[in-house]
Amino acid sequence: MSLFLCVDCGGSKTSAVITNRDGHIVGRALGGPSNFAYMSAADFQHAIRTAVSNALKTCVSPPATEPIPLPVAPDTFASAWFGISGVDSAAAARNAATAIAPLINLPLGPHLTVANDTHLLAAPLRLHPDISHAVTAIAGTGSCVVSFTQDTHGALVELARTGGWGWILGDEGGGFHVGRETIRLMMHDLACASLGMPSAPPSNLKDKVLVQFGITGEANVAEVLPVIHIPEPHPHESTPDMPAYQTVAREKRLSQLSPLVFDAAFKEGDAFALRVLRNCAGALADQIAMLCVPPGDDGAPKPRGVKPAEAILCFGGSLVGVEAYRELVLDELRKRGCVFRYVEFVEDAAAVGAVGLSALSKARQSS
Q: What are phi and psi of 4, to 5 degrees?
A: -120, 125
What single string gives the DSSP state of each residue in 346-358? -S-HHHHHHHHHH
Cβ neighbour number for residue 2 with a 10 Å cutoff: 12
**Residue stretches of the chain with pLDDT short of 70:** 1, 153-154, 233, 235, 237-239, 298-300, 367
Q: How many CB atoms lie within 10 A of CB 226?
A: 9
What's the pLDDT at 73?
87
Q: What is the pLDDT of residue 235?
A: 67
Q: Which of 358, 361, 359, 352 is nearest to 8 (CA)?
A: 352
Structural contact between residues 132 and 150, judged by C-beta atoms closer than 8 angstroms = yes
Mode of pairing for the β-strands spanning 143-150 and 156-163: antiparallel
**pTM as predicted:** 0.78
Question: What DSSP string describes 13-57?
Answer: -EEEEEE-TTS-EEEEEEES---GGGS-HHHHHHHHHHHHHHHGG
Instruction: Please tell me the predicted confidence (pLDDT) of residue 90.
Output: 85
Predicted pLDDT of residue 110? 82
Please tell me the predicted confidence (pLDDT) of residue 28: 94
Contact 178, 280 (CB under 8 A): yes
For residue 238, what pLDDT is reported? Answer: 67
Q: State how far the Cα of 47 lies from the Cα of 366, in Å rounded to an integer.
A: 36
For helices 271-290 and 258-266, angle between their N-to-C axes, nearest 10 degrees: 110
Tell me how far CA of residue 274 lies from CA of 69, 219, 260, 279, in angstroms.
47, 21, 12, 9
pLDDT of residue 1: 59
Side-by-side strand order, sheet with 311-316: 156-163, 143-150, 133-139, 311-316, 342-345
DSSP 8-class letter at 81: E
Query: Is the distance from CB of 184 to CB of 191 less than 8 angstroms?
Result: no
Tally of CB atoms within 10 A around 41: 12
Put residue 163 in one of left, alpha, beta given phi > 0 → left and psi -120 to 50 → alpha.
Answer: left
